[in-house]
Amino acid sequence: MKFFAAVGVVLVFAVGCATVEERAERNAERIGEAVKTYCEDVPKTARDAIRHRVNEEAYPHRAEVECEP
């Protein structure tokens, strides 16, 4: 019986890790695309307002993006 409980715990962790990795991959794609759009399509004059709004949502954390000239 203990064996089956241990297998269940291992499976939960394995599924949980796969879910975290899948979310990380999806988030990396979404965030990367957002940064690319921000740097290439948003006028420099509008970036301050966007950066301020993003940091309001991320509080107490902060996001910073460096766009290549």
Whether the pLDDT of residue 53 is over 70: the answer is: yes
What was the pLDDT predicted at 7?
A: 44
What was the pLDDT predicted at 4?
A: 44
Find the distance separating the first CA and the last CA of the chain, reported in whole Å: 63
Distances (CA, A) of 67 to 8, 11, 47, 57: 47, 42, 11, 21
Q: Specify the length of the chain in residues.
A: 69
Per-residue pLDDT tens over the stretch 6-22: 545 455 555 555 677 88
Decide: 38 and 64 in contact? Cβ < 8 Å: no
Map out the domains of the chain as residue ranges: 29-69
Per-residue pLDDT tens over the stretch 54-66: 999 999 999 888 9
* Average pLDDT rounded to a whole number, residues 43-62: 92
